[in-house]
Amino acid sequence: MKRLFALLVLVPHLAAAANTPECKYQQIEVDPFTKKPPYVATEKVRLTNWLMGVINRDQGHNSEFQVSAVRERDQDFLALKVRLRRTSGREPSGDDIRNGLIVAKEAELLVLMADRSVVKLYSDEAVTANTRYEIEDGDYVIDTSTTIRYRLSANSAEQLTKQDAVRMRFNASGRLGFVNQSGHVDFKITEKARERFRQAIVCLQGLETVDQK
């Protein structure tokens, strides 16, 4: 079912904090048949460039990660949008595609800060990524993507906005080589993205609770 994405003009009930005048939000209205509540999200921040987020260059892995801060009713989340891509000489099976990347409920997201401290967040629900492949020059190019929402408490939000976040690691499983043997995916956050990442969380803190509909 389609979701309607509308970019909001800042109005009193969706006003940013006084010291964050550049905040922009999206009000997401979900199809009423899904019975899911509406929510508000900050603009997505690209944490990596497509080629700079390489997991394993020798095996042809590329990755891209974006993040936004989300409020649904009175609960805040960090929404991590993941896209992973690799080339293989072997055609993936149906089971491979169905289990390309899976994140369990309560799976950890570890955020490494500039002072080497680690902030832990936990996924709100189990997620199975959308995985597909196509053939290019005789090889199979496999692409998997999903969005994982991690609960964001007042304490963890404060920790994430005090200094730069430099790396992230999320726990997952999968059959296509995207996840390492220890059961996680690591990536670095580019220097350009670090300030915008903090800003997204600060912008969310400037909102009032999203009304239920």
* C-alpha–C-alpha distance, residues 112 and 72, integer Å: 26
pLDDT(209) > 60: no
| Residue 31: per-residue pLDDT | 66
Kindly list the domain boundaries of the chain, sorted by start residue: 44-191
| Residue 51: per-residue pLDDT | 44
Q: What is the pLDDT of residues 66-84, one digit of tens each?
A: 999 999 988 999 999 999 9
Burial of 150 (0-12, 13-18, 19+ CB in 10 A): buried
pLDDT(101) > 90: yes
Above pLDDT 90, what percent of the chain?
61
| Residue 74: per-residue pLDDT | 85
Q: What is the pLDDT of residues 11-50, one digit of tens each?
A: 334 443 434 448 888 888 876 776 677 889 998 998 876 5
